């Protein structure tokens, strides 16, 4: 593994590379709240099967600073195109997880000439509002602010994080500075319609215990993408790359080979 930096859109972008550059290129886009570090184990295993892996820290994550203003979903799409152009990737295999999976789906839809294969891992493509019991608890606390006002001032930040975690909005609670608005911008973007436009051969990989992006999403995405197949990893949750790197790498390489 090597780590390099490059300037794109006036931002110093950090990215990791694995394997020999003469091998077929693979671009991996990480999920929200993490960076390239989370994909080291899986990337190494894929590289060992004869691929050149590039994993950038997208703006606002890992070792790459946030954008100067609150980016939209489409700003990240434009950034991906600038990034691959700068490092001279013309055609490549694209892998995306969670937020990175949503970006990958739209990127492949609008740039079919650039993606030879597409892999979506627990992709946050579907953003329709879901109000389960956890979200209802968080909503109750948000609406009844007088409850928090009665607490000591020092306890409020802690309570805020707990409430958002209960409501399944841990990513929002952890965001800081401009990334708070960025999260609001991108979390409202539903890219399922773009899945219907994808012509790139696609593998959809999902954990059957995923509570952040439910398995029903995987089935919908599978139906939307004509040239797709669905692989389910039993016992896995949302973070397949952390909990099942070997199995994930095997399924990915079996597909792209």
Q: Are residues 40 and 96 part of one domain?
A: yes
Q: Are residues 49 and 23 part of one domain?
A: yes
Q: Are residues 200 and 99 part of one domain?
A: yes
Q: Are residues 90 and 44 part of one domain?
A: yes
Parent domain of 152: 133-178
31-87 residue pLDDT tens: 998 999 999 999 999 999 999 999 999 999 999 999 999 999 999 999 999 999 999
Query: Does residue 41 lie in a domain region?
Result: yes
Report the distance separating Cα 217 and Cα 180, nearest Å.
25
Query: Does residue 185 lie in a domain region?
Result: no
pTM: 0.85
Report the distance separating Cα 174 and Cα 105, nearest Å.
25
Residues 6+ apart with CB under 8 A from 228: 198, 201, 202, 203, 204, 221, 222
Q: Are residues 207 and 90 part of one domain?
A: yes
Report the distance separating Cα 205 and Cα 253, nearest Å.
12
Alpha helix (H) residue ranges in 48-176: 73-86, 99-110, 133-143, 145-149, 156-166, 170-174
219-256 residue pLDDT tens: 999 999 999 999 999 999 999 999 999 999 999 999 99
Domain count, the chain: 2
Query: Does residue 183 lie in a domain region?
Result: no
Q: Are residues 73 and 17 part of one domain?
A: yes
What is the rounded average pLDDT for all residues in the chain? 87
Q: Are residues 112 and 226 part of one domain?
A: yes
pLDDT at 102 over 60: yes
What is the pLDDT confidence band of residue 177, given thresholds at 50, 70 and 90? confident
Q: Are residues 213 and 108 part of one domain?
A: yes
Q: Are residues 161 and 80 part of one domain?
A: no
Q: Are residues 240 and 144 part of one domain?
A: no
Domain boundary (144, 178, 212) is at: 178
Q: Are residues 112 and 138 part of one domain?
A: no
């Amino acid at each position: 593994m090597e780590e390099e930096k490059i300037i794109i859109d006036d931002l110093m972008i950090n990215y990791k590379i694995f394997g020999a550059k003469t091998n077929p290129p693979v671009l991996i886009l990480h999920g929200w709240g993490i960076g390239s570090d989370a994909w080291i184990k899986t990337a190494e295993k894929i590289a060992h099967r004869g691929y050149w892996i590039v994993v950038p820290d997208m703006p606002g994550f890992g070792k790459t600073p946030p954008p100067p203003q609150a980016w939209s979903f489409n700003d990240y799409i434009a950034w991906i195109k600038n990034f691959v152009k700068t490092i001279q990737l013309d055609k490549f295999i694209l892998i995306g997880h969670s937020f990175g999976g949503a970006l990958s789906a739209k990127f492949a839809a609008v740039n079919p000439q650039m993606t030879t294969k597409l892999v979506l891992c627990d992709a946050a493509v579907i953003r329709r509002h879901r109000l389960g019991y956890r979200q209802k608890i968080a909503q109750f606390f948000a609406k009844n602010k007088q409850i928090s006002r009665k607490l000591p001032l020092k306890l409020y930040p802690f309570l805020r994080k707990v409430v958002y975690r209960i409501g399944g909005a841990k990513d929002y609670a952890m965001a800081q500075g401009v990334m708070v608005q960025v999260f609001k911008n991108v979390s409202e973007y539903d890219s399922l319609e773009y899945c219907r436009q994808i012509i790139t051969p696609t593998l959809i990989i999902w954990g059957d215990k995923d509570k952040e992006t439910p398995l029903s999403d995987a089935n919908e995405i599978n139906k939307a993408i004509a040239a797709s197949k669905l692989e389910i990893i039993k016992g896995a949750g949302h973070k397949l790359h952390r909990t099942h790197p070997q199995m994930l790498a095997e399924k990915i390489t079996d597909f792209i080979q």
